[in-house]
Structure 1
Amino acid sequence: MTPKQIAAFAIGPIGGAVLGLISLPVITWFFSQEDVGRMAMLQVTLGFSILLFSLGLDQSYVREFHEAENKPALLKRAMLPGLILLLITVLVLLSFGGSLADWLFDVPHWHLSVLVGLALMVSYISRFLSLVLRMNERGLAFSMSQLLPKLLLLAIIGSYVAIGVDKSLTNLVLANVTSITFVCAIYGWNTRAEWLAGISSKLDINQLKSMLQFGMPLILGGLAFWGLTAIDKVFLRTLASFEELGVYSIAVSFAGAAAILQSVFSVVWAPTVYKWASTGQGLEKVHKVSRYILALVVLGFSLAGLLSWTVTLFLPANYAAVQWIVVSCIGFPLLYTLSETTVVGIGISRRSSFSMLAAGIAFAVNLAGNWWLIPIYGAAGAAVSTCVSFWVFFVLRTEFSIYVWKSIPRVLMYTYTMISVSGAVVFTLWGEVLGCWMVGFWVLVLGSWVVIFRGEVREVIGFFRNKVSRWVRQ
């Protein structure tokens, strides 16, 4: 992809993260803490259903796209089996009245179950139609489809406030489902040529079987990673309360600032590193990028530890615990991004089973951590468990990559990330008690960062200085 195309695709993840950072804190002022937690369960359920009912055919669609002569027929093969299975499942669940809403929200209302069922259907359809835009490199349309629903959600919440609508769970769910449905409509309009042609195309059963053979095994790895990122919310739902889940969801939304780094890096990194590897110049450049990302990870933890108190300026008083929890919550996007720089050997060697194994082991760690810590510490325990499990995930991906490819320097990475994660854990669990001691700790880490990464800092300053000089001369 060209830089212009990369920028077009990056607008969506960056803008979506920024709008997500705005929307949830806004919601906290108008809806109850329990209802905020219930929305987190809705998001978890949507993510799980897309992963499960896609049957791995979304990955098969991506793999087959450039080789397929009839791309609309390929879309039909990939989308139809899971859509039928999901429709049947939703209808069966709705036949039990409000059971679906009861399980998710602890509120057994049939109309809420209907709204959830609609959200499941349109989210699944949106997943496949978004792939059409991505694979055809229609980056701007893809990005706008991500941004507009979040803007619509904010507009709906604003209209609730303006006209005095009841701040009920039903209206909050309705606002979210409306925004999800809106994105599906946008995707449908932008991809109408493909899916309209796909409706009339013939379904090739033999090719569908081949796609299932490729895609189904990938579900296991996907489920393991879903569990690694979402099981904390399920445990909070069952072992704690919706209030704790609400606090945790807000902390995760603030940690979304770090997810911007993850989103942008993911768009650029994969095609770049494989291009380096194809020309035989990958290893040295991978080392350099790893050091830069490590510097950003340590800087992110340090600044979060020193500035987390600022989140209380934007939240009601009953969300005060967010300032302690958010530091552990940024562990997921930061450590995942760092692992993307060290896991390249698995991709280059095509040994994807090792990535699945890393996710599975880290998922098991997260299961044990949530089961142990949530009954004691609530939302703080969930944040700590996820942060530690992602450090395990990062180490395993790195070691497996070295095993199947080449050795990379990692002592500094392991040392600094362990110090940062340990500091985040202590800060989350006991930061309120330790007070100034934690401030001193993060200042010390930041001071050492200046010394260790002074070369990278000079390079970045020099880069921007040259850019500014050229701009002034022009």
Structure 2
Amino acid sequence: MTPKKIAAFAIGPIGGAVLGLISLPVITWFFSQEDVGRMAMLQVTLGFSTLLFSLGLDQSYVREFHEAKSKPALLKRAMMPGLVLLVLAVLLLLCLGGALAEWLFGVREWHLSTLVALALVASYISRFLSLVLRMNERGVAYSMSQLLPKLLLLLIIGTYIAFSAEKNLTNLVVANTAAIAFVCVIFGWNTRTEWLTGIRTKLDVEQLISMLRFGLPLILGGLAFWGLTAIDKVFLRSLASFEELGIYSVSVSFAAAATILQSVFSTVWAPTVYKWASAGQGLENVHRVTRYILALVVLGFTLAGLFSWIITLFLPKNYASVQWIVVSCIGYPLLYTLSETTVVGIGISRRTSFSMLAAVLAFAINLAGNWWLIPIFGAAGAAVSTCVSFWVFFFLRTEFSAFLWMPMPRLLLYSFTLISVFGAVVFTLWGEALNSLMMTYWLVVLGCWGFAFRAEIAELIRFFVGVIGNRVV
């Protein structure tokens, strides 16, 4: 993938993160802390339903894309089974009245259940249609489909404020559901050729069974990964309060700045690696890419630790603890991105059961960590548990990949990530009391980072100087 295409894919995550950082403080000032927490439960449910009902066929679609004779037929095989199951499940839940809203928000309202149901279906469809844009390397369309819904959400919230609308849960759910439905419409328009052609194709049951053999083992792993990323919110909902959940969800939202790296890299990396594998070349670049991503991960932890205090300038006083919690929250996107570079051996060898095992073991650790830490530390405990669990997840994926494919240098990987996670944990739990000491710690880590990655830094400087020089000429 060329730098121009990478830049096209980067527009959406970067622009979406910027719009999110603009809209988030507005939401915290306009809506109650409890309702902000309730929105976290909506996001948890959307992630769970997409992972469960996709049946692992979204991963099969990515794996088989370059080898499929008919791309629209492949899309139909991947998308249709889960969509049918999801629609049936949604209709059954709506027959229960407001039960779905009560489970999520603690409020039994049928109209809220209907809005959630609409969001579930739209989110599922968007998942598969986004893969069409990704795999066809249509970066601008993919980015616009991510960027426009964030802009719509911001416009709706702005309209609420301008017209003094009620600061209630219904309006917040309407805004979020409208944004999710809008992205589905945009994805549908941008991929209309593929899915309209796919509808007319005949469903190849034999090929579907083959895809399910690859994808079904990923269901348990996918659910475990969902638990790894979402069980903290479920535990906060049951062991703490919606207020603590609100603080945590705001911390996670600010940590979404780190998901720029995750989104851009994951979007580009999976298609690139599988293209290398199908062509039998380019795989020697994996270790080089890993070093660059490790450098970005460590830099991300360090900068977050040094400058998280800036967040307090934009939030109400009751969100002051976000500045400490956010540093552990960035562990998920950063460590997950790093693991994407070290896990390629599992995908290439098609031993997906090892990915499942890594997710299950890390999920078990996160369960125990949340059960232990949330009653003591609240939202901070949830952030620490998830951060540590993702380091375990990264470690297991790396070791399994080395075992199944080829060894890789791992001393630098483990030492720098452990130093970063240790600092994040201490900063989150006791940063307020150890403020000056923690600033010194992060500065030392930054100095070690500069020495260890001096070659990569010098290479990047030469690259940018060359680009600027060529433009001047």
Do both proteins adopt the same fold according to a TM-score greater than 0.5, normalized to the shorter chain?
yes
- The 8 Å contact of residues 62 and 271 in structure 2, kept in 1 or not, is answered as no
Q: Distance in 2 between matches of 1:365 and 1:155?
A: 40
AA aligned to 1:429 is L
Q: Distance in 2 between matches of 1:281 and 1:192?
A: 33
Which residue pairs with 1:181 in the alignment? 181
Secondary structure of the structure 1 residue equivalent to 2:406 = coil
Q: Distance in 1 between matches of 2:175 and 2:190?
A: 23
- The 8 Å contact of residues 58 and 128 in structure 1, kept in 2 or not, is answered as yes
- The 8 Å contact of residues 34 and 243 in structure 2, kept in 1 or not, is answered as yes
Which residue pairs with 1:384 in the alignment? 384
Cα distance change, pair 98–281 in 1 and its aligned pair in 2 (3 A): closer
Q: Distance in 2 between matches of 1:2 and 1:398?
A: 27
Deviates further, 361-370 or 268-277: 268-277
Q: Distance in 1 between matches of 2:463 and 2:57?
A: 43
Which residue pairs with 2:170 in the alignment? 170
Which residue pairs with 2:127 in the alignment? 127
Which residue pairs with 1:223 in the alignment? 223
Tell me the matched-pair count. 472
Q: CA deviation at 1:471?
A: 2.5
1:15-414 matches, cutoff 5 A: 15-273=15-273, 282-283=283-284, 285-414=285-414
Q: CA deviation at 1:459?
A: 2.7
Q: Distance in 1 between matches of 2:276 and 2:200?
A: 42
Where does the alignment leave 5 or more consecutive residues of structure 2 unmatched? none
Q: CA deviation at 1:166?
A: 0.6
Cα distance change, pair 381–71 in 1 and its aligned pair in 2 (3 A): same
Give me the TM-score of the superposition, normalised by structure 2.
0.93
Deviates further, 231-240 or 78-87: 78-87
Q: Distance in 2 between matches of 1:91 and 1:423?
A: 47
Give me the TM-score of the superposition, normalised by structure 1.
0.93
Q: Distance in 2 between matches of 1:54 and 1:276?
A: 26
Cα distance change, pair 394–463 in 1 and its aligned pair in 2 (3 A): same
Q: CA deviation at 1:122?
A: 1.5
AA aligned to 2:292 is Y
Q: Distance in 2 between matches of 1:352 and 1:37?
A: 34
Q: CA deviation at 1:439?
A: 1.5
Secondary structure of the structure 2 residue equivalent to 1:29 = helix
C-alpha RMSD of the superposition: 2.2
Secondary structure of the structure 1 residue equivalent to 2:254 = helix
Q: Distance in 2 between matches of 1:274 and 1:170?
A: 44
Cα distance change, pair 279–11 in 1 and its aligned pair in 2 (3 A): same
Q: CA deviation at 1:225?
A: 1.4
AA aligned to 1:10 is A
- The 8 Å contact of residues 65 and 74 in structure 1, kept in 2 or not, is answered as yes
Which residue pairs with 2:417 in the alignment? 417
Q: CA deviation at 1:70?
A: 4.9
Q: CA deviation at 1:335?
A: 1.4
Deviations, residues 171-229 of structure 1 (Å, cap 9, x unaligned): 00001111111112222223333434444444444443343333222212211211111
Where does the alignment leave 5 or more consecutive residues of structure 1 unmatched? none
- The 8 Å contact of residues 58 and 79 in structure 2, kept in 1 or not, is answered as yes
Q: CA deviation at 1:141?
A: 1.8
Deviates further, 148-157 or 254-263: 254-263
Q: Distance in 2 between matches of 1:465 and 1:66?
A: 36
Q: Distance in 1 between matches of 2:463 and 2:206?
A: 54
Q: Distance in 1 between matches of 2:413 and 2:270?
A: 21
Q: Distance in 1 between matches of 2:356 and 2:292?
A: 26
Q: CA deviation at 1:161?
A: 0.4
Identity %: 76
Deviations, residues 365-399 of structure 1 (Å, cap 9, x unaligned): 11111111111111100100011011111111222
